[in-house]
Structure formats: structure tokens, C-alpha cells
A and B are shown apart, each in its own frame.
Chain A
Amino acid sequence: DTAVSQTPKYLVTQMGNDKSIKCEQNLGHDTMYWYKQDSKKFLKIMFSYNNKELIINETVPNRFSPKSPDKAHLNLHINSLELGDSAVYFCASSKTGPGNTIYFGEGSWLTVV
């Protein structure tokens, strides 16, 4: 069973469209994250949620809106997509507290054309 699963794996869309990426974890973790990986493989935190509440919101355009319906799900909605949004988006989860390992999903490859 996949611990952190996200869909879709690949998404090609036109500029200006709105799209969503869904994420679910079955590890019983309280904290979930969205990371963005650019073409140079650099991984950067976007958002962190703990028990459905936003706790970290890095400098991300407000076109990106995470939504957590319950602590096992954290979806990412992106409005008015731009070329620069093309990247790989990783969902992840961990137990709450210091020094806990973060477990990643397989990634969603977003290409904006």
C-alpha cells in the first residue's frame, strides 16, 4: 500500500487554467506538507498543515491554495497557472514534533504550456 499518494502524476495544462493536485496519506500522521522541486532539483517547502490547520505558508503566490478536509488529506489548488509554475510538486507527511522523518509521495509533474 502506498503511504503517501498523490494524483495526478502528470498534468499538462494551458496558462490561465485552474488545476488541483490531490494527496492522501495512510500513515496516521498529523502533519502534511507540499514541496516544490524546480528544474535544478531544489526542494522548497510551500505549505505545512497540522491537524487540518495551516502552520507554515512560505512565500508562495496566493494563486496557490492548499485545502485540508481532514488530517489524512491535503490538496493543492492552483489558479491562473503561469509558465513558471511548471515543476514537480511533492506531498509529504510526518508525525508532529521535532525530529520526525518526513515521508514523500511520488510527485506530480506539472507542465504549463
Chain B
Amino acid sequence: GESVGLHLPTLSVQEGDNSIINCAYSNSASDYFIWYKQESGKGPQFIIDIRSNMDKRQGQRVTVLLNKTVKHLSLQIAATQPGDSAVYFCAENKGYSTLTFGKGTMLLVSP
């Protein structure tokens, strides 16, 4: 399940399940969105991006959905694997502005 509190929001899933990580972004004028994965002890790594003229974009096992009406972004991971366990960040920007990162969601995958 998903929990939000003083600690990082955490999503716990079983191996093989599909995972959905959600993000509410703040700037309605943002036109570029990215999902990053950060494994323990490492830097954030690019997963997938989407521009505001699209609603959906697919990669290998990952899909990003953008709902501009409610300023919501989601990352879907198909057939989640233990190696997917990490903290996931959404990030947004507009034009030449620097990326602004969301708070992050920890994904825990149990074998």
C-alpha cells in the first residue's frame, strides 16, 4: 500500500506486480516533465520524460501519464522487479528554468 507521513511516501509491492507512482506538480505552466530513479548511495538516474503536448509516453516496462487538467503525473512500472526498488522523483520545468523536483516516493519490491 501507499503511505504519506513524516517519512518519505512509500509504495510496497510484490515482485511481478505493476507499480504506479504518482506525483502532483505545482506549476501549471510547466512544459517538460521527467522521472528519475535514485538507488541507495547513488545519484538520480533518468528514466523517462514527457512534454506537455503529450498525455502518455512509453519506454521499456515504464509508462508516464500526464494529466495537465489536474497537474498530475504518474509513472507506471510493469512487472516490477527487486531491482526497481529505489526512490523515484518527478521533476518539472518550463522553458529555460531549472528542473524543480518533487518530494520523492520510495518503491519497495518484495521477492
Q: Decide: A102 near B32, CB < 8 A? Known: A41-B8, A107-B42.
A: no
Q: How far is the CA of A56 from the CA of B38 in the complex (A)?
A: 24
CB pair A90–B44 under 8 Å, yes or no, is: yes
Which residues between 34 and 69 of chain A lie within 8 Å of chain B, taking CB atoms?
Answer: 40-45, 48, 56
Interface status of B74 (Cβ within 8 A of chain A):
no
- What is the minimal beta-carbon distance from A93 to any residue of chain B, in angstroms? 12
For B95, the closest partner residue in chain A by CB is: A98
* B→A interface (CB under 8 Å): 8, 31-32, 34, 36, 38, 41-46, 49, 51, 87, 89, 91, 93-96, 98-101, 103-104
CB pair B101–A56 under 8 Å, yes or no, is: no
Pick from A48, A90, A98, A104: contact of B31, CB below 8 A: A98
Q: Decide: A106 near B42, CB < 8 A? Known: A42-B104, A98-B32, A99-B51.
A: yes
For B6, the closest partner residue in chain A by CB is: A40
Q: How far is the CA of A40 from the CA of B89 in the complex (A)?
A: 13
Q: Which residues of B contact A102 (CB under 8 A)?
A: 34, 46, 91, 99
Q: How far is the CA of A92 from the CA of B101 in the complex (A)?
A: 14
CB pair B98–A98 under 8 Å, yes or no, is: no
- What is the minimal beta-carbon distance from B68 to any residue of chain A, in angstroms? 16
- What is the minimal beta-carbon distance from B101 to any residue of chain A, in angstroms? 4
For B51, the closest partner residue in chain A by CB is: A99
For B87, the closest partner residue in chain A by CB is: A41
Q: Which residues of A contact B94 (CB under 8 A)?
A: 98
CB pair A101–B8 under 8 Å, yes or no, is: no
Q: Which residues of A contact B41 (CB under 8 A)?
A: 106-107
For A101, the closest partner residue in chain B by CB is: B46
Q: Decide: A101 near B34, CB < 8 A? Known: A40-B8, A42-B103, A56-B98.
A: yes
Q: Which residues of A contact B32 (CB under 8 A)?
A: 98-99
Pick from B91, B100, B104: contact of A41, CB below 8 A: B104
